[in-house]
Each structure stands twice: as C-alpha cells, then as structure tokens.
Amino acid sequence: MAKLRIASFNVENLFRRAKILNELERTETTRLLKLVDELQGLLKETNYTELRKKRIVALLKELRGYVTVRVDRGKLFTGMGATKVGADGKHDWDGEILFTHEKVKEGARKSTAAVIKAVKADVCCIVEAENRIILDAFNTEMLSGVQRFQQNMLIDGNDVRGIDVGLLSKLPLGAIRTHMFEKDTTGRALFSRDCLHVEVLLPNKKVLHVLCNHFKSKMNNDAASDSKRKRQATRVAELVKEFDLVKDLVVVAGDLNDTPDSDPLGPLMKVRNLHDALGMQFGTDMRQRWTYKYRSQLNQIDYLLISKPLKEAFVAAGVERRGIHGVESTIGTAPFPDVKSPATAASDHAAIWVDVDL
C-alpha cells in the first residue's frame, strides 16, 4: 500500500437542527425558547383554567413553524387544529412538545464539503454529526467522485443533543466497538459522546484501529469538566494500552477539548509509543499547530495520536483552517468562498490530517 491520509474534523453540528435554534438573532431565539418553556409549564398543569387554555392556544400560534404538540393518548384539542383546548388538565392526555427540524444551512454544508475535499482523506473521524443517516446524506449529496467515501459509520452516543462521533472511509470497515455504556466512578456515563472504535481494513491485509472521541467541553471552565475530561483521557489511555503500540496501527482521533500540556489530557498524552502527529510536524510552535481560536488565543484541541508503526511511516501532517470564519489575518489567506459569516462557516474547528506511507 502507498500513502494513506488519516484525518479528523469537528464539523460543528452536522445535523438537522431545531429550526428555533437557526434564528440568526440570538435575542429572538431566547425569546422563542422562553415561550416554549412557558408552554411546557402550562401543559404540565393539572387544572387547565379558561385563561390557561387561551394562553396555550396563543403560544402555539406564536410558535407555529417551530414546535408542535404530539398527542399519544387521550385528547388535548377539540375540533380541527390546535385552536381550542378540550382537555381539563394534564391527566386528560399524554404526549410531548416536538421541535421542528431543518437541515444545517446550505452555505455551512458547502463550506464543510470544501474542507473535506481540500483535506482529501482516505479515512476521517467526524465529530458532531447527528446520526449515520445524516452523515450518509451529506456524503452522498455534497461529495462526489474520488471525494466521496464508500463507507461510513456512526452509533448514537450519550449526548441527548445528538452530537455524536463517526467515521468516513474510502476503505472497507471491519469490527466496530462502542464504549458509550461504560460508567465512571460517579455512576454516570464515562464518555460524553462515545469512544467509537472502528477497524479499517487496509489493502495490505493489515488493520488500522481508529478510536474517535469527543471529550467533555471546557465551556464552563470548571473543576468538574476538567475532572470529567481527565477520567475520559485515563480510560482511552487504558484502551490503547490493550494494543501492542509497537506493532499495531492505532490512531486516537477527535476533539479532546483541551491543550497538549493540560493536566486532564496528561494520562493520554504520556502513553508510551503514542505520538501527536501535529507535534511531529510543527514541534511546540502553537502558531502552527492550533486548531481552535478563542478570542486571541490559538490552541490545539483536536488530535491525531498515532502508534509507533505509524510514526515510523510518517510523511507529513497538516491543518486546514479555511473553513473557519474570521481568521484570515491569522492564517494569511482567504477562507473558502461560502465562509461569509459564522452561520456559513464549516466549523469553528480546523480539520487536521496526517500522511503515512505503509
């Protein structure tokens, strides 16, 4: 086999997004979500007074196109449509509020496709895709010819928002293993999404083991999220040690949501015979290694950690940042044509890749 390119890309919400969240004005989204909260509260009431009934109808009218109410048992409304509440309280019916979904904006899909086409990977870990059907639809609709991947895999993980990890591959897939059911010491799910282990079958009869990850976010920047990330890093370190990292072809890929020198990632970054591909290419220069920009800070939080045989087959590694909005002055080049705003950007993350000659 000749050169193999392995990549990882946090595509930032490649899914059917709730329409209410696609409002460009955050103040309007906030207002609508408050109305949804009010509606939910009213529907939970045991006594639907006439005032409450009128307010339920008014809220549904205001939220038309954004939510619907599904009735599974009993009857909530009388007559045609949601114009009159016939139930006297929550005990008269059973159901739930459903958000209306729509595809990710076309500009964002085009930008995401532009990144993937530019990277030209044979195997790519995908972070933040909703499900395999959405991933397959993107692959079919937005990629074609040599850019299209023949196989894809994604297993719904632990994130209730549908933020999952998956894999696109131009090579056949073998065994697939999920770790979503593992618990940590608190009794909760260890992995925020999953540590998805997919075997990629190489033409030379060897197997490439790809472990796709999306660790706990630093959004709250608190001790609890740091602790969660460290537990996740510790477990992935245990998983890779089950391989013979001197002989086996192993890649730990994905968005680990922390920097290479951070304490939470320490257990994984210090595993013997596991090497950061971007570090191999760029050394310690974060101006070259960064995959995520927060205000003025340039950080690497996306990774391709490779075992010793892949290190010995290393050719080059790189970062594709032209799908990010607002970084032209930092990267010294124009973004892809459809990246005109945050809403049409491919992602707030860069894609990363490594070439190995097997």
Residue 80 has pLDDT above 90, yes or no: no
Same domain, 110 and 141: yes
What average pLDDT does the segment 159-167 reach? 87
Residue 163 has pLDDT above 90, yes or no: no
pLDDT in tens, 116-139: 999 999 999 999 998 899 899 899
**What does the pLDDT read at residue 25?**
67
Same domain, 161 and 304: yes
Number of domains in the chain: 2
**What does the pLDDT read at residue 81?**
75
Residue 203 has pLDDT above 70, yes or no: yes
- Of the three residues 102, 130, 156, the one that is the final residue of a domain is 102
CATH code: domain of residue 247: 3.60.10.10
Query: What's the distance, CA 52 to chain centroid?
Result: 39
State the Cα–Cα distance between residues 343 and 358, nearest whole angstrom: 39
Same domain, 8 and 144: yes
**Residues 6+ away with beta carbon under 8 Å from 228:** 184, 192, 215, 216
Residue 269 has pLDDT above 60, yes or no: yes
Same domain, 197 and 314: yes
**What does the pLDDT read at residue 105?**
67
State the Cα–Cα distance between residues 157 and 190, nearest whole angstrom: 11
Integer distance in angstroms from the first to the last C-alpha of the chain?
Answer: 6
Same domain, 80 and 135: no
Percent of the chain residues past pLDDT 70, beyond the cut:
96
Residue 253 has pLDDT above 60, yes or no: yes
Number of C-beta neighbours around residue 244 at 10 A: 12
Q: Where are the beta strands (DSSP E) in the chain?
A: 3-14, 17-18, 67-74, 93-99, 101-102, 123-129, 151-154, 164-169, 173-177, 195-201, 207-214, 249-255, 274-276, 292-294, 297-299, 302-307, 314-320, 351-357
Same domain, 69 and 124: no
**What does the pLDDT read at residue 44?**
95
pLDDT in tens, 184-193: 888 899 999 9
**What does the pLDDT read at residue 83?**
87
| Burial of residue 56, with CB atoms counted within 10 A of its CB: 0-12 exposed, 13-18 middle, 19 or more buried | buried
What average pLDDT does the segment 175-180 reach? 97
Dig out the tokens for 278 from the structure. Answer: 């971007």
Same domain, 246 and 275: yes
What average pLDDT does the segment 208-236 reach? 92
Residue 277 has pLDDT above 90, yes or no: yes
Same domain, 148 and 75: no
3-class DSSP state for residue 85?
strand
- Of the three residues 102, 121, 145, the one that is the final residue of a domain is 102
**What does the pLDDT read at residue 68?**
93
Same domain, 74 and 174: no
Same domain, 209 and 336: yes
Tell me the residue range of the domain where 344 lies.
3-15+104-357
**What does the pLDDT read at residue 104?**
63
Dig out the tokens for 271 from the structure. Answer: 């595993």
pLDDT in tens, 7-41: 999 998 786 667 887 665 668 888 999 999 999 99
**What does the pLDDT read at residue 23?**
62
**What does the pLDDT read at residue 24?**
57
Same domain, 84 and 219: no
pLDDT in tens, 85-106: 999 999 999 999 998 877 666 7
State the Cα–Cα distance between residues 75 and 59, nearest whole angstrom: 18
Q: Helix 26-43 and helix 50-62: axis angle, to 10°?
A: 150
**What does the pLDDT read at residue 212?**
98
**What does the pLDDT read at residue 130?**
87
- Of the three residues 86, 102, 118, the one that is the final residue of a domain is 102
**What does the pLDDT read at residue 244?**
98
3-class DSSP state for residue 91?
helix
Residue 166 has pLDDT above 90, yes or no: yes
**What does the pLDDT read at residue 28?**
86
